[in-house]
Chains A and B, each alone.
Chain A
Amino acid sequence: MTFTGAIGALCMFPLRLIISACVALGIHPNVLTFVGVLINVVAAWYLATGRFVTAGFIMIVANIFDFIDGKVATELGAVSKFGGFWDSVIDRFSDLALFIGLIYLYAERGRTDYVMITAIASTFALMTSYTRARAESLIPKCKVGFMERPERIVLFMIGAFTNRMAAVLWVILVLSIFTVADRIIHTWMELRRMEREAGA
């Protein structure tokens, strides 16, 4: 088992209990998704005020909701097309909330350089989702590129808990740019291949 696989397996133990509790209580997965974004807004406020450790703990709670909604939907038999759509839309708001919190913090400290870095990182973070969604309307699958939402969220938490948010933003920025580029190139290559096969 790999290092990251072991961490994932370890985290699944408490999450299984929470999922079972939500299923027993019959909480609708769309409600869990919405509660997740509200908690993320609170985390963003703590980021904006420079209280990173508190923000980190709140992000953990928010992302438990984000993580379990799909699993609860499966176990309740409540999987729906709207649920998937709702989840991905709400996830974008959650992402943006955290970035806006940091933009506020850096703006208040007069650091326009980091305001720009955060704004560009948030743009590319959104574009990673958009490029995949748009690509998958044209080709069967576009799951290339490293920096997806789970990686971003874990990086935000690491940045918050260890007070290394600037380094985290640089990583998110650079790897999000490469992820968007990967997805554009992959889609272009796949479409070319499909056109060649259709012409043959």
Chain B
Amino acid sequence: MSPRALTLPARVLWHAFFWTYERATWQYDLMVLAILAFVWLTPPGWLGDPVASGQPGLVELVLRLFH
């Protein structure tokens, strides 16, 4: 199946998982940002993190600053 036959969101997912881009391209930057967002924004408790569970996630920390 050619990725051109897919809708835009499906094409984005296709290219994200069937990765052919080089490092230091804008696609690579985007993937890095998505990974960092997952790592830092997911509350550790959601993943049952054996070391960091109970600690607040980044979103929670930012919210605390404003309350």
Contacts and interface: CB of A to CB of B under 8 A. Distances in A.
Interface string B42-67: 10100111111001000000000000
Contact of B23 (A1, A4, A113): A4
Contacts of B20: 144
A162 B39 contact: yes
B38 A2 contact: no
A2 B55 contact: no
Interface string A108-151: 01010110000000000000000000000000000011100010
A162 B50 contact: no
Interface residue SS majority, chain A: helix
Contacts, number: 85
Q: Which of A3, A113, A178 has the most CB of B within 10 A?
A: A3
Interface residues of B, number: 27
A50 B52 CA distance: 11
B25 interface: yes
24 contacts: A1-B24, A3-B32, A105-B51, A109-B50, A113-B48, A144-B20, A146-B19, A150-B23, A159-B39, A162-B40, A163-B51, A163-B55, A164-B44, A165-B52, A166-B47, A166-B48, A166-B51, A166-B52, A167-B42, A167-B47, A167-B49, A175-B35, A178-B17, A179-B19
Interface of A: 1-5, 8, 50, 52, 105-106, 109, 111, 113-114, 144-146, 150, 155, 158-159, 162-168, 170-171, 175, 178-179, 182, 185
